[in-house]
Each structure stands twice: as C-alpha cells, then as structure tokens.
C-alpha cells in the first residue's frame, strides 16, 4: 500500500431515508457509503489543478463583467490552501510537473494571468511555497458583494478550511455533503451562480453521483454555470460519464481536456478535464487559445493531447 493510500481515513457520507421493516431492522436507501477520505495535499498544484484552476478563474472573471453579484458554490472544497514544501506535496512532487512549470514564466498567456495572480498572492516572496485551492482562488477573485458557499467533509481538511475563511463575511463554510448543497442552496438569491463540482472519484459510484447532482442543481437553477472536474484513469469511465450527461437532455455542455500521457489501462491518471454547463461565451475560444501553450509547457516531451469540444451544443 502506497503512502497516499495510508493517508486515507474512513468516513461516512449520509444521505438516506429510513424505512422500518417488519423485523424491526432499518434499511437506509440513498447514499450510505464507506468512503476512503481523499487528501488533495498529495496532488496540489499538479497538471490537473493547473487546468481546473485556469478554467475556474476564466469563468469567475467572465461573471464579474456584469455588476450583479453572484454565488460561488464549491461542493468539495478541500483545505483552501496547500504547503508545497510540506510532507504530502514533497512526497509525490506532482507540483513540479504542474504549477512549477508555469510559475514566473515571462511568456505567460493572457488567459493564465488571473489564475497565476492567485498563486502569486500566496507567494509574495517569489518562492513557490504554497498553492491555492479552488476556494482561495475564488476568495482572491470575487468582489465584496459576491458570496462563497464552501463544503468539505474531511475531518482534517474542514477545520483548515473553516479557519482560512473565518474572517471573510462573504463566506459560508459547512461540513456537509456537497451534493446536498445543490439542492439546499440553489437557486441563489440573485439568480447568478458558478458551481464547481470536484469529487475525488475514489468510488466508481462517484461517476453516477456527479450526474445526479448536476441534474438536481440544474432543475432548480438552469441558468447557472456548472463546472465538473474529472480525472482520466480509465477512458471508458469518461465515455460513460459523457453519455450519462448527454442523456440528461441538458444543453450547452462544453468539454475541455488536457492529457499528459496517452490513454492506458495501467494504474494512474493520464489526463484530466473540465465539463462546463452554460459556459461563458468566451471560454471556448480562450481554452482553444491557451491549451496548446499549456500542453507544450507542462508536457515538454509532447505526449498526450488537448481537446475542446461540445458534448451538447445549444
């Protein structure tokens, strides 16, 4: 067993209804799963984070073009920030082939400057010591009248997240099931919102849960921007995910992907992607413009691929 797996703790995720049986037993229907507890500290700043946070920052900047405030909802928020010189990040060193290759580049494309401004905000000395998670990037970019709703279940990460945002009166930080937030917090009061869904995919059922979660959110808030991150470990899982999303009947679904290696049936993530529902009108062209540069910088050996395509157009 790897150190990564040794780091996991067990947690319960409860989302159930109790039915009384004739034998005086109880049956829980819905989601009642023993799940391994993912720690993003091992992977902070890797190539998948670079892609995810590039897309995240571009969406936020597009939403800010209108004066009306909006809600940022993060269903799997993590710790908020990560120490790259810490035990977890140094053990894997994944950030060295991710954000470290983009950090302080003189030829940085315009599409990456807002994202990298959030990284720079955590590293004012110029040395890359910390990496911002999606909550910190949102906090850095959102305006004073925008709102953040952050959810995290992990017993170690939640206190870190809560402390990170304890003085931010725009933020609501809760230790709850993120998928439930798609029911209870939507639609937002101002009818504008960006929902980031970023589970660990430790269980195969995660691939079905994200689709159900999007359906629940969409039927309550069809005009929101939804961004779903996914890892490519087995390509067949992503093909099924895409088919399941197509079957929902939801339109305007854009898929963005960055692969660092060819697809493989061997263990390990070869690529990652973002599936965006109701993307801002500029996002498609922005990602088509910046992905070739990102691929060249992150994968100097040239393996893998980039992709921007519509799963479901208008």
Backbone phi, psi, residue 34, to 5°: -80, 120
Nearest to 151 by CA among 244, 32, 138, 115: 138
- Residue 221 burial (10 A CB sphere; 0-12, 13-18, 19+): buried
The gap between the terminal CA atoms of the chain, to the nearest Å, is 46
- How far apart CA 5 and CA 94 sit, in angstroms, is 16
- CB-based contact 180:15 (threshold 8 Å): yes
CA distances from 84 to 68, 108, 222, 248 (A): 36, 22, 38, 39
Q: Which sign, positive or negative, has the C-alpha torsion 299, 45, 276, 113?
A: negative
Does the annotation mark 265 as catalytic? no
Query: Which listed residue (49, 74, 146, 198) is catalytic?
Result: 198
Beta bridge partners of 197: 228
- Chain CA centroid to CA 163, Å: 21
Q: Which residues are catalytic?
A: 198
């Amino acid at each position: 067993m790897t150190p990564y797996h040794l780091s996991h703790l067990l947690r319960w995720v409860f989302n159930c209804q109790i039915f009384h049986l004739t034998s005086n037993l109880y049956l829980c229907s819905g989601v009642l799963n023993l799940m391994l507890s993912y720690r993003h500290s091992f992977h902070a700043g890797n190539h998948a984070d670079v892609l995810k946070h590039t897309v995240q920052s571009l969406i936020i900047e597009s939403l800010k073009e209108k004066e009306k405030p909006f809600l940022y909802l993060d269903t799997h928020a993590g710790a908020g920030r990560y120490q790259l010189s810490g035990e977890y990040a140094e053990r894997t060193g994944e950030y060295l082939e991710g954000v470290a290759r983009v950090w302080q580049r003189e030829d940085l494309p315009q599409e990456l400057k807002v994202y990298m401004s959030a990284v720079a905000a955590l590293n004012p000395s110029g040395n890359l010591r910390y990496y911002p998670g999606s909550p910190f990037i949102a906090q850095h970019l959102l305006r004073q009248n925008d709102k953040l709703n952050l959810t995290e279940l992990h017993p170690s990460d939640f206190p870190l997240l809560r402390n990170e945002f304890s003085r931010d009166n725009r933020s609501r930080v809760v230790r709850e099931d993120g998928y439930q937030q798609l029911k209870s917090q939507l639609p937002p009061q101002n009818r504008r919102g960006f929902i980031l869904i970023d589970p660990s995919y430790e269980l195969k059922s995660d691939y079905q849960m994200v689709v159900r979660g999007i359906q629940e959110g969409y039927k309550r808030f069809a005009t929101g921007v939804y961004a779903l991150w996914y890892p490519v470990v087995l390509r067949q899982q992503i093909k099924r995910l895409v088919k399941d999303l197509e079957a929902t009947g939801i339109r305007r679904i854009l898929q963005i992907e960055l692969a660092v290696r060819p697809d493989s049936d061997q263990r390990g993530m070869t690529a990652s992607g973002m599936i965006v529902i109701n993307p801002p009108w500029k996002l498609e062209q922005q990602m088509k413009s910046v992905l070739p540069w990102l691929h060249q910088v992150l994968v100097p050996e040239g393996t893998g691929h980039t992709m921007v395509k519509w799963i479901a157009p208008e």
